[in-house]
Amino acid sequence: MALFGGSRDISMFRHVNRELMHNIISQQCALYQVKLEETVFNMYGEAASEKFYNGPFLLYCLIDLPDQTQPTNEEGVTWEWAPIFKFLRDDLVDTNIIIQIGDIINFEEAYYEIHTINEMQYFAGKNPDYSNPPNPLESNLADFGYNISIACNTHYVPADRVGLSKERT
């Protein structure tokens, strides 16, 4: 029988996380989601002319900021920075936002494109959506565990390459 990770533990954990993210840390970023229906892509998956976005959606997040690097290549010095943005899953569910690869995050007047998403961050090490087959000794394992957050690995994109266009209404 699981001792931790039940509904009362999850409720307390959810409230503490929201209190920390919203009222104490209070770090926000803007998320732009690509409008796939309106953006024209070529055969390589690149936008032929301009991209259209939904948003911006203002979200609370935690940000892991790595060291900035300036590698050199045959074209000269480039600038690389790949922060990781972490969002509470409950905030995304409440606002009905599904983060996808290719979405743009605006943070401190810089743009970052999401290239990988990690959705496997579980409380008590268990995803309640995938419980094991019924165990005769433990029949309620689906009631334990909690999917906490989504971590988005990003890379810096110059503002002129983002191509944000405001929609005319």
Q: What is the pLDDT of residues 92-101, one digit of tens each?
A: 999 999 999 8
What is the value of pTM for the model shown?
0.79
What pLDDT, in 10s, does the model give residues 43-57? Answer: 555 666 677 788 899
HSE-up (13 A, CA, CB side) for residue 134: 2
- Determine the Cα–Cα distance for residues 160 and 60; give it in Å rounded to an integer: 26
Average pLDDT, integer, range 72-86 = 79
C-alpha distance across the termini of the chain, in Å: 57
- R_g over Cα of the chain: 20
Query: What confidence category does residue 4 fall into, taking pLDDT thresholds of 50, 70 and 90?
Result: low
Give the pair of three-digit tokens for residue 41: 């892509």
Structure confidence at residue 32 as a pLDDT band (50, 70, 90): very high
Nearest to 58 by CA among 107, 16, 113: 107
Distance from C-alpha of 110 to C-alpha of 117, rounded to nearest angstrom: 20
| Digit-coded pLDDT (tens) for 101-140 | 889 999 988 899 999 999 888 877 777 776 666 655 666 6
Nearest Cα neighbor of 102 from 43, 159, 19, 45 is: 45
Q: Is the pLDDT of residue 28 over 80?
A: yes
Q: Note the pLDDT of residue 59.
A: 95
